[in-house]
Amino acid sequence: MVVLILGASLNPNRYAWLALNDLVDAGHEVHAIGLKTGEVRGIQINKNLIYREDIHTVTLYLGPQNQSPYYKYIVELNPKRVIFNPGTENQELEGILNEKGIEWIHACTLVMLRTNQF
């Protein structure tokens, strides 16, 4: 499965960093966009948007106040689902996703992976 982490981090104390590692361990193809460029577990974290037609899941690690610049981008990717990790819930974006027929859930990527629900 192809997964995009939006809000990826180079900081090992961040949940986005843990999620990237767990996604790699689970065998998913991971792409990452963050504020700083760098590499974690062989995955390049980019500042620039990544356009791929096969992104299945976008997992959000950006607070709602930082998501609006990415609304159009997420819709253009047309993922099968968007995961709003704890603290990223956003009614405005959820409404946009509903209008476009894109599934979204309030969940924790880490818990989903560790309980085989991803």
How many CA atoms does the CB half-sphere of 83 hold within 13 Å?
24
| CATH numbers and ranges of domains, the chain | 2-114 (3.40.50.720)
pLDDT of res. 117: 95
Going by C-alpha positions, the residue among 68, 34, 30 that lies closest to residue 49 is 34
Over the stretch 16-37, which tens digit does the pLDDT of each residue have? 999 999 999 999 999 999 999 9
In sequence order, what are the beta bridge partners of 106?
84
Q: Pseudo-torsion of CA 28, 78, 118, 34, nearest 10°?
A: 60
pLDDT of res. 66: 97
Going by C-alpha positions, the residue among 111, 108, 83 that lies closest to residue 97 is 83
- Order of strands, edge to edge, in the sheet holding 57-60? 38-40, 43-46, 29-34, 2-8, 57-60, 81-84, 103-106
pLDDT of res. 49: 97
Over the stretch 95-106, which tens digit does the pLDDT of each residue have? 999 999 999 999
Confidence class of residue 3 from pLDDT cuts 50, 70 and 90? very high
This prediction's pTM: 0.96
pLDDT of res. 39: 97
Over the stretch 5-18, which tens digit does the pLDDT of each residue have? 999 999 999 999 99
Over the stretch 42-85, which tens digit does the pLDDT of each residue have? 999 999 999 999 999 999 999 999 999 999 999 999 999 999 99
pLDDT of res. 38: 97
